[in-house]
Amino acid sequence: NAGVTQTPKFRVLKTGQSMTLLCAQDMNHEYMYWYRQDPGMGLRLIHYSVGEGTTAKGEVPDGYNVSRLKKQNFLLGLESAAPSQTSVYFCASSDRGSAGRYEQYFGPGTRLTVT
Amino acid sequence: AQTVTQSQPEMSVQEAETVTLSCTYDTSESNYYLFWYKQPPSRQMILVIRQEAYKQQNATENRFSVNFQKAAKSFSLKISDSQLGDTAMYFCAFMRNSNYQLIWGAGTKLIIKP
């Protein structure tokens, strides 16, 4: 049981390049989330999904797109990277069950640098 | 809009001492959830403790306990018998009952000194 995994762990992009971050969870969770973490700030929600085939915007969605084609995977895309997107990106998932749906389980994070 | 405030950017205590981290939040909701997460240098985000707003009893998890004051909108974390492994960033987070989005504080860096 790996929990939540993220690929890659590190990445350096040039301005204007594109990339996709992959998040996978093996806990059969309904809900998945993408956050970014910047120095001196808490996590900010980029996009989230409440089930396979669904996505919704969070607090800071601009410049990002997401897809949830399979329940276990949640992809975060950057179409044209900008230096302002330099950050650490976290994926999380949570269950729908009444006892556990409020706890989010996190992946190890991806450090992205845009030069 | 909901906000979460952690007024202590950094704290340090000696090993075995007790330390309290502060968190206040702003909401008009009556039912919600509060969390403390720990982020050690490994960067992994780990749930420390959770509190449901409708429960008056303060949550406890071994050496970790909270002081939840609903009227004051305060949710502090107490760490007893602190250990070197408690060194980490600690984040307070708020979740409305009607959705599943977490609103995060800016974090408190806690250093446990030997």
| Residue in B43, B46, B107 closest to A42 by CB | B107
Determine contact: B54 vs chain A, CB below 8 A.
Answer: no
Q: Between chains, do B100 and A50 touch, taking CB under 8 Å as contact?
A: yes
Residue to mutate among A27, A30, A37, with most B CBs inside 10 A, is: A37
The residues, ordered by sequence, that sit 6+ positions from B40 with a Cβ below 8 Å of its Cβ are: B46, B85, B87, B88, B89
Average pLDDT over residues A33-50: 92
pLDDT confidence of residue B74: 96
Contacts of A59 (CB under 8 A, 6+ apart): A44, A45, A46
In this structure, what is the dihedral angle of CA atoms B20, A41, A76, B32, given to the nearest 10 degrees? 50
- A83-97 pLDDT, tens digit per residue, is 999 999 999 998 876
**Closest residue of chain A to B109, computed from CA coordinates:** A40
User: What mean pLDDT comes out for the span B70-97?
Assistant: 94
- Over residues B3-62, the pLDDT tens digits come to 999 999 999 999 999 999 999 999 988 888 999 999 999 899 999 999 988 888 899 999
B-chain residues near A58 (CB < 8 A):
101
Shortest Cα distance from B21 to chain A (angstroms)? 15
User: Beta partners for A83?
Assistant: none
CB contacts < 8 A (A, B): 49
